Structure 1
Amino acid sequence: MLAFIYARLYGLSMLTSSIDPARLRSVLGHFPSGVAAITALDGDGRPVGMAVSSFTSVSLSPPLVAFLPAKTSSTFPRIAERGTFCVNVLAADQEDVCRTLATPGGDKFAGLSWRPGPHGDPVLDGVAAWIACTIQSVHDAGDHHIVLGRVDDLAADTAAAPLLFFRSRYHHLAA
């Protein structure tokens, strides 16, 4: 009902569409994003992680961030069980870290250096920034979840440039 009210207020159409998912992905790929690694410890104390480009700041007061894992993710349930996570904003030279964490299965942390963050969750070495969070809520969003995290602690390397993702490729900021 609220969506209908907003649509009426702002003159938006409530028509449903049959947008082809491949076309949607292609067009939305024209929006550049940063790349983050969401890390946690599983129930056995082993590090788990996933690469995401769907990470965003939500609120300054209270301090909230969000990321959107696919419902098919085998890693997110292990992060959700923990209740805390660390967002690692990947630096320009960490494309290999992204590729490792984006690959299903195996020991993704075998070749990665990290230290425990405030909740014990992995803070990866060399990241542009890290944000330690507690899961505030998880919302249904089609084939994804929207995970809201309360920011508990954070830090940034002001000299590090971020890794960017644009049109299905990795990029770096120009000097």
Structure 2
Amino acid sequence: MSKLLARIAGYLSNRTLVGVDKLGNRYFTRTEEIDGIMKEKRCVIFKGEGDPTSISVEWICWLNGQRKRAPTAEEQMELEARREPVKQNVAFLKQEEEERRAKEGSSHKAKSTGKTGGPDLKSFIHQFPTEGNKLEEESDAVDRGRGEDEAGAQKAKEPLSE
């Protein structure tokens, strides 16, 4: 009975099945009227859990509108066959890199290139006084020195009255 209802609902809905990928995700188009213009909307219904990273590049391009036609099963198989040697090469290079790091690790410690901590703020903090108000004391001393110089200059300007 549920299959019959699903089939009837399928006829009444305005979406059409365009394709299915190797994981079983189903891709649909539907036409909507937006501002008097008929627009084609594209969507995917995931099989099982909805992991968006499981969608292949061809289907992502089709969903985004970068491709006009949906990828065919033959095209998907051909592209997967092209990707297989690349995946094997990546696995081989990773294994080689791990072996190289293991060799270097036994002879000496490997240097870490990534920053693990926050930024170095020593030069920034150095600008601020660390012991009490040392900066204020220095500026007060400078001001006192200026005051004495100004007082001496005024005494020199005043005529001596004796």
| Alignment TM-score > 0.5, same fold | no
Q: TM-score, normalised by structure 2?
A: 0.21
More helix by share: 2
Q: TM-score, normalised by structure 1?
A: 0.20
- Relative contact order: is structure 1 or structure 2 higher (C-alpha 8 Å, sep ≥ 6)? 1
